[in-house]
A and B are shown apart, each in its own frame.
Chain A
Amino acid sequence: MKQTNQNRAPWILLPCVLLTLGGVTLLAPHPAAQAAPTQVAPAQTAAKPAAYDDGDGDELLEHWDSPRYGAEERIQIGGAAAGFLLLGVVVWGKRSRRTAAYAGLTLVDVSDPVKTEFLKSEQSVAEERKAA
């Protein structure tokens, strides 16, 4: 039986509703977190350089000062460059093999008896037509 879009709708909607409910549950504050008093570590906060603290609480997101991000970018650039080099070598190898294979061949392969016979018959038909 052909399934219509209407029949499929509950199967699409159900995960959406569950995901939304799941998301709302995650957003709601945890009861344990509500009960526990907030722990403050003044010594660690004071140790941070003043330039990093812009007061928005997302100091860790400022990635341009982290050497880890730069290093990871360089690794991936190197990987991509190595991939391109490998691909270039493979393509070059294939092309040179193909060129070598076709180098000794003429347009009509006379070594193949079937092809030669076919060409001869084609030629004779053409000549007969010309004569007629």
Chain B
Amino acid sequence: MQALRNIGIIGRITMLEGARKQVFHVLMLFAVFLIFGSASLAKFDQHVQMKMLNDLCLFCVFLVSSIVAITITVTGVPGEMEQKTVYPVIAKPVARWQFICGKYAGAMGTVAIGMAIMAATFTFLQLSYAGHLDTAMFYVLPFLYLETAILAALALWLSTWASWPLAWFLSVLLCLLGNLKFPLYDSLMSRPQSGFNRVAITTLYHLLPNLESFNFKDAMVHHLAVPNAYLWQTAAYGLFYTAALLTLASLTFARKEL
């Protein structure tokens, strides 16, 4: 119970700190501008325009949420260490894993605020153009949030052992690789490779997160049905992967000399 309280306190402070950052405000303004701008890009009949609107808006939500999640998480722990604000917290009866979980919860809270703003703008546009709300939005957006949760956990783990610019760069790189995992693997394995290379590529392939699994944008745009079993499995996959990365981040931070 005390652990949850500690995580909650650190999380609340981190969330407020993240929401007050200038970069967050600029990104939110950019996202809202982009979502409204996407409505004026397409001037076709209403059916095609709605498809383009959904496509562009969901891409914008994913892009801005990912940037916010990576930027806030990557600067969280190194920033606390640089400003030496981590020492009074660690000196109190707060375990290091609680500190890591608190920072993560706070960053995800900031992402949730940002996503809520973008979702509200998107809903407003949908209601103005189509006159009704697409119900697929109720599972497409949570899965996008889960995808950013994995990215944030990955960035947090990287920030516990790397400097923040390196962690940011690696997070973006892993985000791209995670989205292109299957075509990249097929392309590499179709060429003649040595035995060692094949083992190394397959190991990396199984370690990389499969971020494409959380992308149900096409289902919403083209009104396709997604099996419930697949949705549940993907949700469980996202939670497991996030938990594994947070455990790794906690272990790395616990062994770090402060």
Contacts and interface: CB of A to CB of B under 8 A. Distances in A.
B203 to A, nearest CB: 11
Nearest to A72: B210
Nearest to A58: B218
A112 interface: no
A129 to B, nearest CB: 31
Given A62-B218, A69-B210, A73-B233, A81 B247 contact: no
A48 interface: no
Nearest to B212: A63
B178 to A, nearest CB: 11
A62 B224 contact: yes
Contacts of B227: 64
Contacts, number: 58
Contact of A76 (B210, B218, B226, B243): B210
A50 to B, nearest CB: 13
A124 B39 CA distance: 85
Contact residues of B: prevailing secondary structure:
helix
Interface residues of A, number: 22
9 contacts: A56-B221, A64-B219, A64-B227, A64-B230, A73-B210, A73-B237, A79-B206, A80-B241, A80-B244
Interface of A: 54, 56, 58, 61-64, 68-70, 72-77, 79-81, 83-84, 87
Interface of B: 182, 206, 209-210, 212-213, 215-216, 218-219, 221-222, 224, 226-227, 230, 233-234, 236-237, 240-241, 243-244, 247
Given A70-B233, A75-B206, A84-B243, 10 more contacts: A54-B222, A56-B218, A69-B213, A74-B233, A76-B210, A76-B237, A77-B240, A79-B206, A80-B240, A87-B247
